[in-house]
Amino acid sequence: MAETSTSAVPSGTAQKTSDTPLGRDDLARLVARDIAPGSFVNLGIGQPTLVSNYLTEEQNITLHTENGMLGMGPEAKGDEIDPDLINAGKIPVTELPGASYFHHADSFAMMRGGHLDVCVLGAFQVSAKGDLANWHTGAPDAIPAVGGAMDLATGAKDVYVMMTLLSKDGKSKLVPQCTYPVTGVGCVTRVYTDKAVFLITDDGVRVRETFGVTFEELAELMDVPLR
Partner 1 sequence: MLEFKDTVAEAVADVQDGSTVMIGGFGNAGQPFELIDALLQSGARDLTVVNNNAGQADEGLALLIKEGRVRKMICSFPRQSDSWHFDAKYRAGEIELELVPQGNLAERIRAAGAGIGGFFTPTGYGTMLAEGKETRFLDGKWQVFETPIHADVALIKALKADGKGNLVYRKTARNFGPIMAAAAKQTIVQVSEVVPVGGLDPENVVTPGIYVNTIVKVG
Active site residues: 66
Decide if residue 23 touches partner 1 (CB under 8 A): no
Residues numbered 77 to 116 that lie near partner 1 (CB under 8 A) are: 82-86, 90, 95, 97-105, 107-116
Residue nearer to partner 1 on the CB measure, 58 or 169: 58
What is the rounded CA–CA span in Å between residue 98 and residue 5? 37
Contacting residue, 23, 46, 74, 147, with partner 1 by CB under 8 A: 147
Contact between 185 and partner 1 per CB under 8 A: yes
Residue 159: count other Cβ atoms within 10 Å of its Cβ: 30
Radius of gyration of the chain (CA): 18
Could you give the CA distance from residue 170 to residue 213 in angstroms, rounded to a whole number? 15
Q: According to CB under 8 A, which one of 146, 167, 171, 179 is a site residue for partner 1?
A: 146
Nearer to partner 1, 78 or 83 (CB): 83
The Cα 119–Cα 31 span in angstroms is: 11
Calpha distance 153→131 (Å, rounded):
9
Q: Does 200 bind partner 1 (CB under 8 A)?
A: no
The one-letter code for the residue type at 224 is: V
Whether the Cβ atoms of residue 6 and residue 200 lie closer than 8 Å to each other: no
Q: Which of 35, 70, 123, 219 is close enough to bind partner 1 by CB under 8 A?
A: 70
Residues that bind partner 1 (CB under 8 A): 37-38, 40, 62, 64-71, 82-86, 90, 95, 97-105, 107-116, 131, 136, 141-151, 154-155, 181-185
